[in-house]
Amino acid sequence: MTSGRWDPAAFKTRVDGTLHRFVAEEADRFAAIDPLLGPVAGQLEAAVADGKRLRAAFCYWGWRAAGQPDSDALVRAAASMELVHAAAVVHDDLIDDSPLRHGRPTAHIALRGAMGRRPRADASARSLAMLVGDLLMALAGELFTTSGLPAAYLSRARPLWSVMARELIAGECLEILRTGAGPDTAASLKVVRYKTAKYTVEQPLLIGGALAGAGTRLCEGYRAYGLPLGEAFQLRDDLLGLFGDPALTGKAGADDVRGHRPTALLAETWRLAAADERKRLRALMGRRGLSGEELEAVREVMRRLGTPARIEDMIEARVEEALDALSELDVPAHAVAALTELTHSAALRTA
């Protein structure tokens, strides 16, 4: 990457190394307070064990596309985006009561064992998971501010952290408030935009750009590119949630239907469904004990109505919009090449 060539695997290795070292040290300090804290400290490390590191990559290329060179300090700052994501994932899994993430028990499920047979063990495990998420968010800020970048650079980007946190939490709140409500595609897309799209692509790009001293025009270009791509990323996630291979996604396929979540996939299915199909969907959506056969019945309604194909069309349109915006950016050719590759990694993945 020092020569300008984008090597995603090498970049991921750098980010993984940064995250694993930093979180392991913080987990050790946390566990040293009292031996009882060991399982909680373990979940801090589990939260960063896996990941595509897309958010760090977008922050990195927000910096590089603005003309700055490769920098280990920048990689540390970019890695903090992954701690924001880790915090959001722990909280999201808790809110949605998801049992699996990356093929392993989610934090609140894993921490159930730490409670033994104590009263209200399940509720206590959920409380512990909430605090794990809170600590991960605090650690994100710590890694960012101790990255080694000059204070003047950090001060340019610091205000964007407040924006990122506000929009991310607003998106989570909107999802909760919309869950179980009448399906509405426009409302679902707003949840997508604020819960995922902005902090996945747009804000990391803008933070990288702010660190680099990017001008207003370039930042506007980052927004034009980043927002539709972030939406495409989450729309793909929704499709994979129901139609992906759980062995690849590492998630439970029934979560969105069981939780009656406000996804565009479910909203479009409801919009196109006839009265008898809506009756069937109404009986299944939100059912906690959803069987495999019942989940397949939901998928069959979707296939019959063509809603997976409609979501694919929405993804394709947003990818085209992002690539069109990218073509208008006045940035080095190697940055265009890297961001083009990242576009496909984010929107056309299978896991």
Q: What are phi and psi of 116, to 5 degrees?
A: 60, -135
pLDDT digits (tens, 9 = 90+) for 119-148: 889 999 999 999 999 999 999 999 999 999
Q: What is the pLDDT of residue 289?
A: 80
Give domain status of residue 311, yes or no.
yes
Could you give the C-alpha distances from 318 to 233, 234, 241, 335, 344, in angstroms and in order?
Answer: 9, 11, 19, 20, 12
pLDDT of residue 122: 92
Residue 151 lies in a domain: yes
What CATH number has the domain bearing residue 36? Answer: 1.10.600.10
Q: Kindly give, in sequence order, each residue whose CB lies less than 8 Å from that of residue 171, ignoring residues fewer than 6 positions away.
A: 191, 193, 194, 195, 196, 198
- Decide if 307 is inside a domain: yes
**What's the CA gap between 269 and 160, in Å, rounded?**
36
- The whole-number average pLDDT for the span 77-89 is 97
Q: How many domains does the chain have?
A: 1
In this structure, is residue 1 part of a structural domain? no
On whether residue 202 sits in a domain, the answer given is yes
Share of the chain above pLDDT 70, in %: 98
The reported pLDDT for the residue numbered 5 is: 76
Residues 273-293 have a mean pLDDT of 88
> Quick check: is 3 in a domain?
no
Separation CA 82–CA 69 (nearest Å): 21
Domain that holds residue 314: 8-347
- Residue 109 located in a structural domain: yes
